[in-house]
Amino acid sequence: MKKEVSILKMINNDEIFYEFIRKLRNDPRVKSGFIQKKNVTKKQQQAYMEKYKNNYHICTIAGRPAGYIGVIDGDIRIATHPSMQGKGVGKFMVKFVMKKYKNIQAKVMFDNEPSMKLFKSSGFKLKYYILEP
């Protein structure tokens, strides 16, 4: 494993991380990989987190937030800060939720090669294609 993984830690989500999650979700480098590409406002984030706070976890590296992962209705929501990508953070988070949750899935855009690679390397198998007009 990469050296950085040895200092990674998963912690429970808390209100102090809501803005980190929102800013990371809205970052154009990250948002391009999401199915929904709308910016999330502070008010929308607060309402969403009031409902789903306990479904999310924060990955820290040397005590600083590096990414987040959540599971809503069995669907994984994940983002790694661009400066931390390629260092094992995403795989660390996916392995964490695989131990914690059963019957999970990841919906990945067909052209999101980094996410496809992440989930396949974590043991996920392609099951469906969804076609839209």
State pLDDT tens for residues 87-131.
999 999 999 999 999 899 999 988 899 999 999 999 999 998 888
Q: 127 lies in a domain?
A: no
Confidence of residue 35 (pLDDT cuts 50, 70, 90): confident
Q: 87 lies in a domain?
A: yes
What token pair was written down for 132?
């839209």
Tokens 């990371």 sit at which residue? 24
Total tally of structural domains belonging to the chain:
1
Mean pLDDT in the chain? 93
Report yes or no: 67 and 81 within 8 Å, Cβ to Cβ: yes
Tokens 């948002």 sit at which residue? 31
Report yes or no: 13 and 49 within 8 Å, Cβ to Cβ: yes
Domain span holding position 36: 3-121
